[in-house]
Chain A
Amino acid sequence: MIGSSELAQEFWADGKSESCPIYDMHGHMGVWHSIYFPRPDAPDMVGTMDECGVRMLVFSHHMALYAPDIANRSAVDAVRQFPDRLRAYCAVNPNYPEQLEADLQTFEEHADVYVGFKFLPDYHKIALTDERYLPAWEYANEREMLILTHTWGHSPFDGPEIVRQVAERYPEVKLLLGHSCHGEWDEAVQLARDFPNIYLELTAIFDDREILEKFAAEAGSDRMLFGTDLPWFDPHQAVGALLSAHISDDDRHNICHRNAESLLAPYLNDGS
């Protein structure tokens, strides 16, 4: 066993929970150079989701992060293949601003697919404050959409000081800090305290013991979001860590589904 709570017993026995569905707010899809993924495609990923009790995955396609003209199409196709299980972030590569312009012109045609945008500044080597992101920031801010951005401690592209600047400029964006400024935990907490539109997303944090407790105590579990980078990481590993952490089942419900359900409500017409 990994704990004595009702949720721990349920996940240990069944691998999933009827009362605590999971919304994974940080996923990907497809191959990645030099990396071995046993289950990189939509049908296999949905199979994993079934086993782990993941009701919904919000993802950006790996290929779209580098060649968005090619692969945002792949994300659209995957969501339309599994409309009850998948939603996507429109991937933005600021090295190709003309592609962002094209995506924005057709954005409303994909209202059944996109919940917002995904930025990957550390990999694109372009800071969140760069003007090439501006059309996406403004589009999302006007519509109170979600932006999931990779963030990492001490990064000149997406570290906490950079995040603070864009959070001040775009107060209507639902700003999801992917990896929660990994390593600069106090700064991540302070951002969540200072900006009501900021959420701490937990991909790659489930293997860092005591950070879940810190975030829940200092930022509040109502500001934390479950994420795995699927197909990178097994959701069961994340759930096992969540059940091992010294937090309450009420916190776990917030992290696994309540916060995400609130954020995604405008995009899930049937309430699924």
Chain B
Amino acid sequence: MVCVICDHGCWGMDRMFRPLLERYPNVHVDIAQYLLDGGIECLVADYGARRILFGSGFPESYMGGMMLALKHARIPDEAKIAIAGENLERILGEAQL
């Protein structure tokens, strides 16, 4: 089973979802509410870009907030592409319905 953690809130939730990322390799996290300065970079460094999925929070949140944050995060372009869409495409491609 693939699990995606979303709607985790913006007020310092690393302490809540990082233990799950540590323990379960099929757990992923989306960044819709991950507003932490430098957070995307640290998640990529600690768990790899494959565990991270793009989320905007739309329509509750503006589409462009996390787009600009991801665009200018201090991570390689390959990691940005993976987070922006490739990871979800891979997960959906592996799903057995």
Contacts and interface: CB of A to CB of B under 8 A. Distances in A.
Interface of A: 2-3, 11-12, 15, 32, 34-39, 44, 48, 51-52, 204, 206-209, 228, 230-241, 243-245
A234 B36 contact: yes
Nearest first, the 8 A-B pairs at minimum CB distance are A240-B68, A2-B64, A38-B38, A244-B64, A35-B12, A244-B62, A240-B64, A241-B65
Interface of B: 10-12, 14-15, 33, 35-39, 41-42, 57-69, 71-72
Contact of B10 (A34, A204, A236, A240): A204
Contacts of B69: 234, 236-237, 240
A9 B86 CA distance: 25
B52 to A, nearest CB: 15
A241 B62 contact: yes
Contacts of B62: 206-207, 209, 240-241, 244-245
Given A207-B57, A236-B69, A38 B42 contact: yes
Given A237-B68, A241-B64, A34 B15 contact: yes
Secondary structure of the A side of the interface? loop
A236 B36 contact: no
Contacts of A44: 38
B75 to A, nearest CB: 13
B59 A36 contact: no
B11, B37, B71, B72: residue with the most chain A Cβ atoms closer than 10 Å: B37
Contact of A235 (B11, B37, B60, B66): B37
Contacts of A209: 58-62
B37 A2 contact: no
A239 B63 CA distance: 12
A230 B37 contact: yes
B37 A241 contact: no
B65 A32 contact: no
B67 A2 contact: yes
9 contacts: A12-B68, A35-B12, A36-B12, A44-B38, A48-B37, A209-B61, A232-B36, A240-B66, A244-B62
